[in-house]
Structure formats: C-alpha cells, structure tokens
Structure 1
Amino acid sequence: MPTARPRHYPSDTTDAEWAVLAPHVPAGTGRGRPIIYPRRDVVDAIRYLDRTGCQWDALPADFPHHKLVYHYFTAWTRDGTLNRMHNSLREQVREQVEGRNRQPTAALVDSQSVRGAETVGRGGRGYDAGKKVNGRKRHIAVDTCGLLLAVLVTGAQVQDRDAARPLLRALRACFPTISVTWADSGYAGRLVDWATAHLTLTVRIVAKLAGQTTFVLLHRRWAVERTFSWINRCRRTVRDYERLPDHHAAMVQWAMIIVMTRRLARHQPT
C-alpha cells in the first residue's frame, strides 16, 4: 500500500532507500492476513525509534500505533525476517558497492559493553569490572569491510573468550567460506587452539603495540572499531533498554540496515 505520510525525520527512508529495502519487507503478516497500512511507515517507525532512542509509546502520532509497530518489530525478529533482510542487504553492499564476492572469506571479532537501563532484568545483566559497566555486552563478528556478520548479546560479566565460542561456532555454520578471523588480546589462549581443532578456523591475535598508551590504528582491528561507531550512531544502541537480549541484537541489526540502505541508495543508477 502506498504511503501518504510526509517524510520529514532524518531516519525516514528516501524513495531510493525504499526501492532498495522494499523487496525484503514481507507483504503480509505470515498468517494469511494482508497488511492494511503502508509497510514503509512501519519500517520508518522502527528506524525512528532506533535512531532517536525514544520509548515505544513516545513514537510520533504520524506513525502507525506503537503497539502495532512493536508487534512487527518482535515478529520480524522472531521469524527470521530481520536476519534475511539484513543478510541480503549485506550481500548487495559487498557486491555492488565494495566490488567483492557476496560471501566473505575473513572476519574480525570484538566486544563492547553498554550500560543497561532499569528495563534490563537482573538475570540478563552483569558487571564488566574492566570497563566499570553494569549492563550487557555485545559480541560481534564483521567482514573486512566492517559489515555485520553475527551478533551475540550477553551479560557484561561474560569474558570475550567465553562468548567467542558460540559466536565463532555460529559464524562457521553460517559462513563456511571464512577461514581466518582477527581478534584482540582478550581472545588469546585456549580459544585459538579450540577454533583450529573444532572449527578449522584460524584466529589471529592483533596485540597492542609495545608501550602503546594512546589510540593507534591497528592492523585489521580498526574495521571492527569503525563498525561499533556506526552502530552507536543510533541512540537506542548506546544504552541497552531491551528486556530481551535478542531485541538488543535486533536494534544492532536495524542500525546496520540504516547504514547499508543509505550506501546502496547512493550507488543506484539515476
């Protein structure tokens, strides 16, 4: 259904962005009932919330009702629609923008601790003593272009090398073409041998330079750090407000969808 809502928020899709995104957005609810409102308005509402960090019930009145938008946010997260949308866009960016194969052959992993709001329950949060953060930690794997491949959300107390095992296992299952992964010193130790023995995956540690006390652009690691900066452009991801870890992971994916649709829209023929 075409939309009549004027597009005046910075997070709104442009016509070029919607042309890229529309083929990946389901036309129905999955239960045989047609959508009676524009899909573009639902997508723009989710993007608005992710970009601004507002509460669900604080969505502007020109969007569909916040309960309806939340329903599709959770439904698309649960049934795999969001994953398929994100992965298809990533393959398009790799091929059309970066000039690479659709499937990556190398990856980078890292983690970032974020403070948890009061909506994050005690059972789903923890304390990162190193960063002095009480909340959650997101562990991500990206390709060498910085595009997201996998994300895992845990309590902030979980060590990088412990969370890396399920993250690398999922990475290996979804991307069998990947043969090498770069990581920082937090992943050194038994994880390197485990990845080689169980996943046939080479983990290369990129350590800090001797005597390094300030920021230095390190080989390969800069790409995953840039991805964190892309994700943090969306205020909803700067702090964790989600009751479920899967919903925070979904907000991370939506942040990357904004980045990728804009890149693809700029490279479409006029």
Structure 2
Amino acid sequence: MPAPSRRRRRYPSDTTVAEWALIEPLLPVEACRRKTGGRPEKWHRRDVVDAIRYLVDNGAKWRALPSDFPPWSTVYYAFRRWVRAGVVGYIRDQLRRRLRAGGGRCPYPITLIVDSQSVKAAETVGKDSRGYDAGKKINGRKRHLAVDTHGLPVMILVTPADMSDRDAARELLWRLRLAHPQLVQVFADRAYAGQLVGWADDFLDLHLRTVARPKGAKGFVVVPRRWRVERTLSWLMRARRNVRDYERLPEHAEAHLTWSLITVMTRRLARDGQPRTDTWDKKRPAR
C-alpha cells in the first residue's frame, strides 16, 4: 500500500474526502494485493485521480500537469489502463445507480434520451477518426450521448463528425441493448427518424420515439424530454478539455467526457449526502 496522500488539495477539481470515499471502492484491486502479485503502487491513487480530474477540468496537456501531482507518465499510464479495463465506465454506472436509487427510482433505467454534439478537433486527431460535419460546418468529431431521465450518463460514443446521427445510432443502440437489456424506449430528435425507428423496433425490440420542436417556434425552446440530454451536453462543456477534441484515440476522448460527468455525480452525492431530484421529476411517475 502506498503512503497516505499528503498533497494539499488546492484546486477546485480536487476530490473531497466524501468524493474519494465514493470513488476509491470502485477502483480495481492493486496488483500487489492479488494472487498473481505485482509491484506496490508508488503514488497514492487519490493523487492520480485528482490529476486526471485537473487535466479534464482545466484542459491542460499531460506533460503540463503541476508538479504537486504524480509524474505525468504515471497519471497517463493509470488513465490508459483504467480505460482499457473498463474501470471508467464501471465507476460511471455505479454512481448513476446510486443517484437513481437515492432519488427513489429503479437503479436500472428503462427510458433514455439520445443526442449528438459536433466539436472541432485539434491537429493531434488523425484523419482516420475525424470528419467534416457539413451541417454544423465543423471539422472534427461527433459525440453521441445517451442519458437517463435525470440526465445522468449511460453511454458515450465518439465518431468522426461526418458520420450521420442515424448511422452512429445503430452502433449506439446496439451497444445499449447488449449492456442494458431492460431498456424499453429511447427519445431523440427528428434527425433519428426514418428507417432507424423500424430497425430499432424489429431487431432490438426498442421503441425509438422522436420529439420535434413546437411548430412555429423560433430561437431557443425547451423541448420536452430532449432538454435533459442537452443539459448534460452543457455540463460536458464546462470542462475545458471537452471544448475541443485532442485525443488520438476515440476511446480516450470518451473517457475524458466520462470523467467530467463522474465529477458531476460525485459532487452531487457528496454535497447533499443524498441525490437531488429536480422538481420536474417529482411531478413524473417513477421509471
């Protein structure tokens, strides 16, 4: 076991004691404590997690991490290892289930909302994983996000920006069906209409329902159901690392997005001691 962390918490992105109590049990067992054995970890995991959160929140480069964090190579190795092992997705799912259960809902959602967002990509993103979104006039990548009726993340998929929402939705919905067999329906905007609706119903036994803007509406309008995923997209953009895509690997881009939402969920759990439910949810039957 590494020595207790002695680094002074000085950044807004640092974990509090309550947040670390939520994250620590969800991390994999250290190699030195397994039957196969391994070297003890030199740096405390809380310092590593704080470094990842700092990088996501402030948009820093890996090599530009402040000196009070572990070496950048150590932090990046842990980040990459946890992505490959599915640890980041596991933490996301466990925190979401705890928030839902605390809000009086079933931990496993049956209704989701999906949407996409195109962002510019830096020169570090290769041509094989980027594209040009003619509609948004953006050269970069597109994020496809599935959230529950609280706006909590369920799955994130990163594709080239020139991939249409319908094509990406086939992959996203297929993964959702495999990972969440209890799903019943998914809400989306009109970009997902057409043959995709019948395909989801026939092959996935999943009801895809499109929600259109009110007729004659101009400018910004709060659209029922869809506003929750749009709010989650705004949460993502609060983290500077997510304003532009810098990652060579799409799965690393997905991990940065997930870490920013993990921070949102841990802060909500730690701040109130129990998950907060919106007034909108109190007027709706539990799903």
TM-score range, shorter chain: over 0.9
Partner AA of 2:260 in structure 1: A
- 1:80 offset after TM fit, Å? 1.1
Of 165, 170, 190, which residue of structure 2 is paired with 1:160?
165
Partner AA of 1:26 in structure 2: P
- 1:32 offset after TM fit, Å? 2.5
Of 82, 91, 94, which residue of structure 2 is paired with 1:88?
94
In the alignment, which residue of structure 2 is the partner of 1:116?
A: 121
- 1:22 offset after TM fit, Å? 1.2
- 1:27 offset after TM fit, Å? 4.0
- 1:217 offset after TM fit, Å? 0.6
Query: Contact 1:136–1:153 at 8 Å: present in 2 too?
Result: yes
Could you list the structure 1 runs, at least 4 aligned residues long, displaced by more than 4 angstroms after superposition: none
Of 15, 32, 36, which residue of structure 1 is paired with 2:17?
15
In the alignment, which residue of structure 2 is the partner of 1:77?
A: 83
TM-score (norm 2): 0.91
- 1:232 offset after TM fit, Å? 1.0
In the alignment, which residue of structure 2 is the partner of 1:182?
A: 187
Unaligned stretches of 5+ residues in structure 1: none
- C-alpha separation in 1, matches of 2:40 and 2:186: 43
Are 2:71 and 1:65 aligned?
yes
Of 44, 49, 54, which residue of structure 1 is paired with 2:55?
49
How does 1:190-201 map onto structure 2 within 5 Å? 190-201=195-206
Query: What is the SS of the residue equivalent to 2:162?
Result: coil
In the alignment, which residue of structure 2 is the partner of 1:236?
A: 241
* TM-align CA RMSD: 1.2
Partner AA of 2:248 in structure 1: R
Deviation digits for residues 114-173 of structure 1 (CA, Å, limit 9, x no counterpart): 100010011110000111110000111110100111111100000001100010011111
- C-alpha separation in 2, matches of 1:76 and 1:219: 36
- C-alpha separation in 2, matches of 1:181 and 1:244: 28
- C-alpha separation in 1, matches of 2:30 and 2:151: 32
Unaligned stretches of 5+ residues in structure 2: 275-287
How does 1:119-134 map onto structure 2 within 5 Å? 119-134=124-139
Are 2:176 and 1:171 aligned?
yes
- 1:57 offset after TM fit, Å? 0.3
